[in-house]
Structure 1
Amino acid sequence: MTTPPYEDFAHAYLIEVGAAVRRMLPRHAEAVDLLVKATAGGGEIRAFGNGGSSAIVRSVLLQLHAQAEVPVNDAMMSPATLAYSAQREGYRTAFARSLVGGIGRVGLVVVASVSGRSANILEVARLCAEHRVPVLALVGGDGSQLEPDGGVVWATGTTDQQISEDAMLTVLTLAAATALGPGTKPLSARAERHLRALAGVDTELLGAFLGEATEAVADAITGRRRIYVLCPDGGPLALVGEHFAHNLAWDAPLGVDGVQPPLVVCDPSLADMSAIYNDHPDPAHGVRHQLSSATPGDVVFLLAYDSAGPTAREAVSAATVAGTRLFLLHRDGPSRSAAGARGLRLPRVDDFALAALVQSVAHLLCRTTRATLAADRSGPAGVLSADDLMARDLAPLRELSATHTR
């Protein structure tokens, strides 16, 4: 069988992400200005998104709060609150209802929606227009879907869902870093650095990583084995880990007949995490506990800033002892820290830019996995070209309507 063209696909995909980022740069000054005014004015910054977009907007709020103590919401309500509210009053207005009570304290609302037509996002934009609260809206396509008063529509220039999300996370976190203080580098310089890092990704190594990971994930899905996506060090990588797990659990089997959603285990919930830190001073306890349920043949994706860090080493050890198929994505440390582990070291960028690179890898894997699952039912996966894989955007599979999707 011909080797799937993952290297060519990875190269083409990363080029498109870079192109989308460049298309967004002309409006960077307006976006940064909104963030600067909001942070300087002392008002809260709120943010909303659906699906993977929720992790994207929470990443920028984490950045603003952790580095500059900007008052923010947690971007989305807790799962329990969200489900309760949606069942009692409907999901369409869930975000707006969470915003309206304290809207007088809000200096900026950030929303992300690839379709730009999600009903709950449109409700937020309408509410902000009524109260003259500026909106920074990141959307796919040309941006004509939204027209917020006193705000900025920051469009990706593409309707491709995954490429749009990668560009959104990149420019939004770079804009936040630029807005944090007068001594920071301008966004254009930060963007060029990130684009150089993107171009510097070794697509031959990335293609090999994708080949092994795709085989492992497809086997796990069809064989009903568990898939773990873990980032025990927390931070923006943990939010990307949540998005990564969402891609594998929800998006990878989307629209593939006869494929059941896999069991994907992600980082601990807030209830678990608070118990872990209260009962066990060692932060590695949580990941060891999770991996104690792993069995041979399960798949583990470990996201780490430094593969040589103590928590990462504990996670690698636990995954290795369990006999799992281990895949390590990291920026620092050795590429292979355990026998049989497949490691991929990404370029040296800061924590938030690293999260954007890891999100791109997750999106690549989502598409190659979907292609493999579909090919198992229609013919050999080797017939797929890089162009075929680039065309497997998930947006057309979703109901891009006023009531659904991102």
Structure 2
Amino acid sequence: MKKVLITGAAALTTLAGVAHAQSSITLYGLIDAGLSYTNNQIAGTGSGHSNWEMTSGAVQYSRWGLRGGEDLGAGLKAIFTLESGFNVNNGQYSSNNRIFNRQAYVGLSSRDYGALTLGRQTDSMVDFVAPLSLTGTEFGGTHFAHPLDNDNLNDSFQINNSVKYQSPAFGGLRFGALYGFSNQAGSFTNNRAYSFGMSYRAGALNFGAGYLQLNSSARTPAQLNTNGAVTDTTGASLQGALSPSGVPLGVLASSQKTFGLGVNYSFGPAVAGFVYSHSKFAQFFQGGLSGTFQNFEGNFRYALTPSVELAGAYTYSRAGGNGGGGIPHWNQVSAMADYHFSLRTDVYIQGAWQRVSPSGTSPLGVAWINGVSAPSSTTNQVQATVGLRHRF
């Protein structure tokens, strides 16, 4: 009897070892903290004031997460990701009502057929276009975003209730699509989203394109379907400027249609790129206003040494339609220098200057660099940050 028990225990131990070998869980994260200076910030009423402050996520949003998978055999895996953004200054979640506010999904991944996942996920603009823009990368990030992150290339919001497919690479070609359900009986389109995109890499050339559409029947915050596809944000984006309630502008529009494309070309230690994006908001708020944003970004980065990297971007953006009150346009110049102590730890200095040239009675008539806590009191704003970033 004792011999049988010992043999059984050994078998169980062996099986446990096999199961453990087939599964994996990784704890990962990024902490980005810095000291920032901004001029002309509005403080209450009256003229603007300079502001010295400690900031979290000046380049990349601070976050931690868990990702894992189980090998199911024949090239098939069960996969999951749970990711939470936070403010390193005070330890708070970046979203009040979510633990895993950045991503939360589970799905199946095949070596030959791609991945199908369900949960809270990023859209195709983030997946395929953002990597070609400095705002969507570690080389520029939050403050490099196009005005008010109107195209979501800085990943200001994610899509709830979403089903997403990502293909494997076919000779350099990848593609994907996403659909976010409204989850509302009798209102299938009230706060739904869908998105698709592709990328192609051939040697030194990298190309990407994406499309995102949000639909809603709401006209006031009280009518918003709070269980729908888009319900909160993690950064200062368009609704911060035009929606006093803080509700995402696209959710209160009959539609938001955003498309973009970008290209990068590498030569030696340098990478040059161009990104174009266009966002159209139809009938937002009770007034039935409409507006468009176009963004043109040229960017460049250069590895001066294996430890030192320089990056810069120029963005020209313009707004139009009766929501813009004319044709306001923005010019922004951004630059960053980064020094790596190791693969996981670096220090950086970055800065951005933005000027807006309003027309008519535009509500967008003052400068506001993305990620800065308050808009400028004038048409100009300057921001500079010295920061430390650590990955684990």
Q: TM-score, normalised by structure 2?
A: 0.26
Task: Considering Cα pairs closer than 8 Å and 6+ residues apart, tell me whether 1 or 2 has the greater RCO.
Answer: 1
Structure whose alpha-carbon radius of gyration is higher: 2
Give the structure with the larger helix fraction: 1
Q: TM-score, normalised by structure 1?
A: 0.25
